[in-house]
Structure 1
């Protein structure tokens, strides 16, 4: 199926002035579409997915509990996305709550607290075990690190998409941990990229939704990312869409939203192909 829309995908990506890295995997046929998938990009908040996985790995190993409480001090609060920076210092939050806030609100304060608990080196060690090579985790968020290439958090579309595929197949830590991560990512509050043009899932209470997406976004000036698992009736995709050097935020928003819409419309394409 991806072969049938390959030219449409290439036209869409090439319509932008920025640099894009795209990896799409279609589970039902094992087809792949890739574009600059080995290109390295500044990770932004996409790095929070492996951090979540590392936290849950330590919980699975008995080193932590999701009910453990962490106190948020005023010196822990950092700028950027999230709500913790706006709340009263001294409040305690469970590790579970911090993981959820890190993913669905992209809370940077929650992220840094979890990094402090695990340690940068331990998170990178897990990532190495899980097969990351070019993808590197080197620093906390919103601390104005050097943007030198060898000092930055880096990702590639290829490695992120492979990791998403492993999560979907239950291969990271355990099946139950993978279900937990997907459940959290499905609660994502930032939906202005890949899913933004998809139809509303409104209807009869309890009905099966026409689509679901378990995903994470990432943004810093000049960089806009969206990666995740896209579920349609009879179709499942792993998608990693990365960008850099974009002239404005409108361009990657347009390209990624149209990408999501194009994949959504493969439902009709597949019906035509199956009948012919």
Structure 2
């Protein structure tokens, strides 16, 4: 299976501390991979390093090409990014924020094309934020803002959709909407990679990468028993994975039952 993103001996140092310790990983194309693990495991750092947003040592490949071989604009068309705590100018209208996702496709100082407007409209429909297009970003609630920023990422129409804590501020119905959006992206042939603290939602991905202390401790399909056991182990047996209504969910382990 072709790798959408791959790294070998990937190391990241922040300040004086090495956060990632020689990570080797291949994330398959055309699938949704979730990154999970305890706090401080290195999940966000790994995703940012794969996206080229952090200086790193080692090898990174994007869609089969060395990361350094990608021209900037071409790379920006290949990778859509939704970061934790991303924001924009508070006084920008929602329509303009989402249009920022089209910048990699536009000429310098060029006006939006019909294709740009169509991509923005489609992204806003998917995230159900079209009703706010004339409002300033700063006037929105946390959940509304998150849906707008997701629309900005979708408007890029990139094959790789990378998301760090994309469910922040989203209520359960809109978390379900997010799941549907990710699955549609993959069904169209795209690849999604997301850092998630919501383990039960991470278990609905195709594949799960578990990190602990800056190292990958497991990478496997979410349907596999070995993955379920790895989830339990990496969280100190304080969770148990169960089948509920045809899905895998992680439930807290009661004290004294581990």
Q: Output the TM-score relative to the length of structure 2.
A: 0.31
Query: Which structure shows the bigger proportion of residues in helix conformation?
Result: 1
Q: Output the TM-score relative to the length of structure 1.
A: 0.29
